[in-house]
Protein backbone atom coordinates (compact mmCIF):
# COMPACT_ATOMS: atom_id res chain seq x y z
CA UNK A 1 0.00 0.00 0.00
CA UNK A 2 2.82 2.39 0.84
CA UNK A 3 4.18 1.91 -2.70
CA UNK A 4 0.84 2.81 -4.30
CA UNK A 5 0.70 6.04 -6.29
CA UNK A 6 -1.08 8.97 -4.58
CA UNK A 7 -3.64 9.01 -7.38
CA UNK A 8 -4.47 5.31 -6.93
CA UNK A 9 -4.70 5.74 -3.14
CA UNK A 10 -7.07 8.70 -3.51
CA UNK A 11 -9.27 6.83 -6.04
CA UNK A 12 -9.36 3.66 -3.90
CA UNK A 13 -10.36 5.51 -0.74
CA UNK A 14 -12.93 7.60 -2.62
CA UNK A 15 -14.50 4.33 -3.85
CA UNK A 16 -14.57 2.87 -0.30
CA UNK A 17 -16.10 6.10 1.09
CA UNK A 18 -18.81 6.11 -1.61
CA UNK A 19 -19.67 2.39 -1.36
CA UNK A 20 -19.93 2.31 2.45
CA UNK A 21 -21.96 5.55 2.43
CA UNK A 22 -24.55 4.25 -0.05
CA UNK A 23 -24.83 0.79 1.53
CA UNK A 24 -24.85 2.18 5.09
CA UNK A 25 -27.56 4.76 4.41
CA UNK A 26 -29.70 2.22 2.51
CA UNK A 27 -29.58 -0.30 5.39
CA UNK A 28 -30.25 2.48 7.92
CA UNK A 29 -33.21 3.81 5.97
CA UNK A 30 -34.67 0.30 5.51
CA UNK A 31 -34.29 -0.33 9.26
CA UNK A 32 -35.82 2.98 10.34
CA UNK A 33 -38.93 2.23 8.31
CA UNK A 34 -39.60 -0.80 10.50
CA UNK A 35 -38.55 0.98 13.72
CA UNK A 36 -41.14 3.71 13.14
CA UNK A 37 -41.17 7.42 13.93
CA UNK A 38 -38.28 8.58 16.03
CA UNK A 39 -38.43 12.14 17.29
CA UNK A 40 -37.23 12.16 20.85
CA UNK A 41 -34.66 13.91 23.00
CA UNK A 42 -34.22 10.81 25.12
CA UNK A 43 -31.40 8.50 23.95
CA UNK A 44 -33.34 5.32 24.85
CA UNK A 45 -35.39 4.96 21.61
CA UNK A 46 -32.25 5.57 19.52
CA UNK A 47 -30.30 2.89 21.40
CA UNK A 48 -33.24 0.50 21.05
CA UNK A 49 -33.27 1.21 17.28
CA UNK A 50 -29.62 0.10 17.09
CA UNK A 51 -30.76 -3.45 17.96
CA UNK A 52 -32.74 -3.66 14.73
CA UNK A 53 -30.52 -5.82 12.44
CA UNK A 54 -30.86 -3.46 9.44
CA UNK A 55 -29.96 -0.46 11.60
CA UNK A 56 -27.04 -2.38 13.16
CA UNK A 57 -25.54 -3.34 9.76
CA UNK A 58 -26.16 0.19 8.43
CA UNK A 59 -24.47 1.74 11.47
CA UNK A 60 -21.46 -0.61 11.16
CA UNK A 61 -21.04 0.34 7.49
CA UNK A 62 -21.26 4.03 8.42
CA UNK A 63 -18.45 3.50 10.97
CA UNK A 64 -16.27 2.09 8.14
CA UNK A 65 -17.36 5.12 6.09
CA UNK A 66 -16.24 7.49 8.88
CA UNK A 67 -12.81 5.81 9.24
CA UNK A 68 -12.10 5.70 5.49
CA UNK A 69 -13.21 9.34 5.20
CA UNK A 70 -10.76 10.26 8.00
CA UNK A 71 -7.92 8.47 6.20
CA UNK A 72 -8.78 10.20 2.91
CA UNK A 73 -8.91 13.63 4.59
CA UNK A 74 -5.43 13.06 6.06
CA UNK A 75 -3.98 13.75 2.59
CA UNK A 76 -6.79 15.18 0.41
CA UNK A 77 -8.55 18.59 0.51
CA UNK A 78 -12.03 18.84 2.05
CA UNK A 79 -13.09 20.90 -1.02
CA UNK A 80 -11.95 17.94 -3.18
CA UNK A 81 -13.32 15.06 -1.10
CA UNK A 82 -16.86 16.38 -0.56
CA UNK A 83 -17.86 17.04 -4.20
CA UNK A 84 -16.10 13.90 -5.49
CA UNK A 85 -17.84 11.62 -2.98
CA UNK A 86 -21.22 13.01 -4.11
CA UNK A 87 -21.11 10.21 -6.71
CA UNK A 88 -22.96 8.46 -3.84
CA UNK A 89 -26.16 10.39 -4.74
CA UNK A 90 -25.93 9.16 -8.33
CA UNK A 91 -25.44 5.60 -7.10
CA UNK A 92 -28.53 5.89 -4.85
CA UNK A 93 -30.60 7.11 -7.83
CA UNK A 94 -29.28 4.34 -10.12
CA UNK A 95 -29.94 1.65 -7.48
CA UNK A 96 -33.48 3.06 -7.21
CA UNK A 97 -33.90 2.85 -10.97
CA UNK A 98 -32.28 -0.49 -11.82
CA UNK A 99 -32.65 -2.52 -8.59
CA UNK A 100 -35.86 -1.19 -7.04
CA UNK A 101 -37.40 -0.27 -10.45
CA UNK A 102 -38.42 3.22 -9.32
CA UNK A 103 -39.29 5.79 -11.96
CA UNK A 104 -36.54 8.38 -12.55
CA UNK A 105 -37.90 11.74 -13.74
CA UNK A 106 -36.27 14.01 -16.34
CA UNK A 107 -35.23 16.37 -13.52
CA UNK A 108 -33.50 13.50 -11.74
CA UNK A 109 -31.58 12.51 -14.90
CA UNK A 110 -30.55 16.18 -15.29
CA UNK A 111 -29.38 16.16 -11.64
CA UNK A 112 -27.35 13.00 -12.27
CA UNK A 113 -25.75 14.60 -15.33
CA UNK A 114 -24.88 17.80 -13.40
CA UNK A 115 -23.35 15.80 -10.53
CA UNK A 116 -21.23 13.66 -12.88
CA UNK A 117 -20.01 16.76 -14.75
CA UNK A 118 -19.18 18.46 -11.44
CA UNK A 119 -17.40 15.38 -10.10
CA UNK A 120 -15.23 15.05 -13.22
CA UNK A 121 -14.33 18.78 -13.02
CA UNK A 122 -13.31 18.55 -9.35
CA UNK A 123 -11.68 15.15 -9.96
CA UNK A 124 -9.33 16.72 -12.50
CA UNK A 125 -7.96 19.23 -9.95
CA UNK A 126 -5.00 18.56 -7.63
CA UNK A 127 -6.44 16.70 -4.58
CA UNK A 128 -3.89 18.12 -2.16
CA UNK A 129 -3.34 21.91 -2.11
CA UNK A 130 -3.24 22.50 1.66
CA UNK A 131 -0.96 19.74 2.89
CA UNK A 132 2.36 21.01 1.59
CA UNK A 133 2.84 23.74 4.15
CA UNK A 134 2.21 21.43 7.06
CA UNK A 135 5.67 20.14 7.98
CA UNK A 136 4.42 18.18 11.03
CA UNK A 137 3.13 15.42 8.71
CA UNK A 138 4.53 12.13 10.03
CA UNK A 139 5.91 9.39 7.84
Partner 1 sequence: MRWLLVWIIVLASTAGNVLQSLGMRHHGEIRDFRPGALGRAAAALVRSRYIVASVVAMAISFFAFMALVSIAEISFAVPVTASTYILETILAKYLLKEQVEAKRWAGVVLVAAGVGLLTV
Applying CB under 8 A, the residues found at the interface with partner 1 are: 1-2, 25, 28-29, 32, 35-40, 46, 49, 62, 66, 69-71, 73-75, 77-83, 86, 89, 92-93, 105, 107-108, 110-126, 129-131, 133-134, 136-139
Distance of closest approach, residue 123 Cβ to partner 1, in angstroms = 8
Between residues 19 and 62, which has the closer beta carbon with respect to partner 1?
62
Between residues 15 and 113, which has the closer beta carbon with respect to partner 1?
113
* 20 SS3 class: helix
CB 93 within 8 A of CB 112: yes
CA of 94: how far to CAs of 44, 61, 81, 88, 125, in Å? 35, 20, 21, 10, 26
CB 49 within 8 A of CB 38: yes
Query: Could you give the CA distance from residue 51 to residue 132 in angstroms, rounded to a whole number?
Result: 44
Distance of closest approach, residue 42 Cβ to partner 1, in angstroms = 11
Between residues 15 and 116, which has the closer beta carbon with respect to partner 1?
116
- Reading phi first (left if > 0) and then psi (alpha if -120 to 50, else beta), residue 126 is in beta
Distance of closest approach, residue 90 Cβ to partner 1, in angstroms = 8
Distance of closest approach, residue 64 Cβ to partner 1, in angstroms = 13
Amino acid sequence: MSAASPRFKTRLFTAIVVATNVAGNSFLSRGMQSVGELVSLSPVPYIRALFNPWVAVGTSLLIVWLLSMMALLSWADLSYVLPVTSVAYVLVALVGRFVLHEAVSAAHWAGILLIMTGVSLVGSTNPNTAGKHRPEARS
